[in-house]
């Protein structure tokens, strides 16, 4: 297999390169403001910016790009953990095989149905199905049954319209089957691109094979999955190394398949039962580093979604919104059965944001952003390269804004209290005036809002 990560080039660069001076920084940031992304070489230069003033300028530029391309909207989802059985020894994870401190559980289809109902009754429309790697040969069949079970739940408060999946690396033939089950994005985090660190962190089990794990996105795309989601678990090694390697991975996928990942997830290590590494990360990423990471990714790949989970606390999540995060999870539980049971002792790691979906939504509205449950692109087949072709000329707003408004109107009608309804409709009105009016869509947007108020559901452009 062609080498995806050029380790020696990254190490050489980080050893020798100096931070960009003001002239170089100005040049890169004005290039970024053209909204076409910057070269990966330029991104490598930004990684070396260390001054507080320089990082503020990265944040301002990221915010400019985020507002221009995405506007004020934020997509919401919830993870659904179906099994915490695992045959791997990822040293940072509460689900690792040798951890005796948690009880193991794989949900039955009936339990998955109940969890799905609980999520729908909160207002969710998008789920990320998550599992440990402990189900052996039946793992794929089980996952496909779970997907079918989730999609089949249709109750008065609605149904799940998109299931993204975060499960272990597989063979191409397995990805073909997974794709046929109508998943949205297939996510798999590399955790660390640094091979030596990877081997230290993944002592045994199928995930300990660095090359196999790194090749998963190639196999997923060869298996026909158009939207793949990559991620780094920050804290395992130098974040600068990780970002340069991530960009090499993206370049490899772009060169080979004509399109890079649909999303990038940016989890930071959180404490997990019995894991020293999770509590004391070898390379802790400070809040300031974390802001810089998000800003640089937004500047470099402006059309790739960026996902932040409830690992982060509410204040970091608020800040990250302005730096270009486009999706967040909300009201999450990271233990199988977590949405229907009262005790939560079997979680994968501890969460930083325990607020309910309703609380998160009100906060987003107070931050002047439209909470979105949109699944339009996926439903209309605007995926992979087609999505990027649509996104790149700046058309995200013309679709995402209206669809965010329609799904938020559904939420307001079906789940919101009077206070949120008042705030929510005022925000929709402002958004139409400030952002939709110039798009020549106002009449059709208003027509659809009225249709949702009259009882129609699942409208999108």
- Alpha carbon distance 154, 160 (integer Å): 8
**E strand or H helix at 360, and its extent?**
helix 357-366
348 near 388, Cβ under 8 Å? no
Is 166 a binder of ligand SAM (CB under 6 A)? yes
Tokens 């402006």 found at: 302
Paired tokens of 273: 């039962």
Number of residues that bind ligand SAM (CB under 6 A): 21
Nearer to ligand SAM, 40 or 189 (CB): 189
Tokens 């999450």 found at: 332
Is 348 a binder of ligand SAM (CB under 6 A)? yes
Nearer to ligand SF4, 38 or 269 (CB): 269
**Partner from ligand SAM, ligand SF4, none binding residue 96, C-beta < 5-8 Å depending on class:** ligand SF4
10 Å CB burial of residue 359 (0-12, 13-18, 19+) is middle
Residue 267: CB minimum distance to ligand SF4, A: 10
Nearer to ligand SAM, 164 or 409 (CB): 164
Residue 439: CB minimum distance to ligand SF4, A: 42
**Partner from ligand SAM, ligand SF4, none binding residue 460, C-beta < 5-8 Å depending on class:** none
Among 115, 270, 353, 363, indicate the residue that binds ligand SAM (CB under 6 A).
Answer: 270
82 near 112, Cβ under 8 Å? yes
Among 123, 132, 376, 402, indicate the residue that binds ligand SAM (CB under 6 A).
Answer: 132
User: Coil, helix or strand for 20?
Assistant: coil
Binding mask 110-149 for ligand SF4 (x = CB under 6 A): ----------------------xx----------------
**Partner from ligand SAM, ligand SF4, none binding residue 267, C-beta < 5-8 Å depending on class:** ligand SAM
**E strand or H helix at 73, and its extent?**
strand 73-83
DSSP 302-349: TTSEEEE-TTS-HHHHHHHHHHT--EEE-S---STTTTT-S-----SS
Q: Which stretch binds ligand SF4 (CB under 6 A): 89-97, 113-121, 258-266, 425-433?
A: 89-97
Q: Which residues pair with 158 in a beta bridge?
A: 155
Among 57, 311, 322, 399, indicate the residue that binds ligand SAM (CB under 6 A).
Answer: 311
**Partner from ligand SAM, ligand SF4, none binding residue 349, C-beta < 5-8 Å depending on class:** ligand SAM
State which of positions 193-252 bind ligand SAM (CB under 6 A). Answer: 233
158 near 450, Cβ under 8 Å? no
Residue 86: CB minimum distance to ligand SAM, A: 6
Nearer to ligand SF4, 93 or 323 (CB): 93
Is 346 a binder of ligand SF4 (CB under 6 A)? no
242 near 193, Cβ under 8 Å? yes
- Alpha carbon distance 308, 384 (integer Å): 21
Nearer to ligand SAM, 336 or 402 (CB): 336
Q: How many CB atoms lie within 10 A of CB 29?
A: 21
Is 93 a binder of ligand SF4 (CB under 6 A)? yes
Nearest to 114 by CA among 338, 331, 340: 340
Contacts of 441-449 with C-beta under 8 Å, sequence gap 24+, read 441/398, 441/402, 444/402, 445/402, 445/405, 448/402, 448/406, 449/405, 449/406, 449/409
Paired tokens of 383: 């995926």
**Partner from ligand SAM, ligand SF4, none binding residue 331, C-beta < 5-8 Å depending on class:** none
Binding mask 407-436 for ligand SAM (x = CB under 6 A): ------------------------------
Cα four-point dihedral sign 264, 268, 272, 275: positive
Is 213 a binder of ligand SF4 (CB under 6 A)? no
Among 40, 64, 151, 189, indicate the residue that binds ligand SAM (CB under 6 A).
Answer: 189
Residues that bind ligand SF4 (CB under 6 A): 86, 88, 90, 93, 95-96, 132-133, 207
Residues that bind ligand SAM (CB under 6 A): 92-93, 95, 130, 132-133, 166-168, 188-189, 191, 233, 267, 269-270, 272, 278, 311, 348-349
């Amino acid at each position: 297999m062609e080498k995806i990560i050029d380790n020696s080039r990254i190490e050489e660069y980080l050893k020798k390169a100096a931070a960009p001076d003001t002239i170089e920084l100005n040049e890169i940031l004005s290039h970024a403001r053209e909204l076409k992304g910057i070269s990966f070489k330029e991104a490598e230069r930004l990684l070396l910016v260390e001054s507080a003033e320089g990082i503020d300028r990265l944040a301002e530029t990221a915010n400019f790009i985020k507002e221009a391309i995405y506007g004020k909207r934020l997509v919401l989802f919830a993870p659904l953990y179906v099994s915490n059985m695992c045959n791997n020894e990822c040293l940072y994870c509460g689900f690792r095989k040798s951890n005796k401190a948690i009880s193991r559980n794989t949900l039955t289809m009936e339990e998955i149905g109940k969890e799905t109902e609980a999520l729908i009754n909160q207002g969710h429309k998008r789920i990320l199905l998550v599992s440990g790697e402990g189900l052996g040969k039946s793992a794929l069949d089980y996952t496909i049954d779970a997907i079918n079970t989730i999609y089949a739940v249709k109750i008065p408060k609605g149904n799940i319209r998109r299931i993204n999946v975060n499960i272990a690396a597989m063979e191409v033939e397995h990805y073909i089957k997974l794709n046929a089950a109508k998943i949205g994005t297939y996510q798999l985090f590399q955790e660390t691109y640094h091979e030596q660190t990877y081997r230290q962190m993944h002592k045994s089990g199928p995930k300990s094979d660095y090359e196999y794990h790194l090749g998963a996105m190639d196999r997923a795309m060869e298996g026909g999955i158009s939207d793949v989601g990559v991620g780094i678990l920050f804290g395992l090694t130098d974040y600068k190394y990780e970002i340069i390697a991530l960009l090499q991975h993206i370049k490899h996928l772009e060169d080979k398949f004509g399109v890079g990942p649909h999303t990038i997830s940016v989890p930071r290590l959180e404490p997990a039962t019995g894991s020293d590494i999770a509590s004391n990360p070898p390379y802790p990423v400070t809040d300031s580093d974390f802001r810089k990471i998000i800003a640089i990714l937004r500047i470099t790949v402006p059309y790739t979604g960026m996902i932040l989970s409830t690992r982060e606390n509410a204040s970091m999540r608020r800040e990250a919104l302005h730096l270009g995060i486009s999706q967040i999870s909300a009201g999450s539980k990271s233990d199988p059965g977590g949405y229907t049971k009262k005790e939560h002792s079997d979680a994968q790691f501890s969460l930083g944001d325990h607020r309910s979906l309703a609380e998160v939504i009100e906060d987003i509205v107070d931050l002047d952003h439209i909470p979105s449950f949109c699944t339009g692109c996926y439903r209309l087949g605007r995926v992979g390269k087609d999505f990027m072709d649509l996104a790149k000329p700046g058309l995200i707003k013309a679709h995402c804004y209206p669809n965010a408004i329609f799904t938020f109107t559904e939420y307001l009608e079906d789940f919101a209290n009077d206070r949120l309804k008042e705030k929510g409709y005022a925000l929709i009105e402002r958004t139409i005036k400030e952002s939709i009016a110039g798009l020549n869509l106002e009449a059709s947007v208003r027509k659809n809002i009225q249709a949702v108020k009259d009882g129609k559901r699942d409208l999108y452009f």
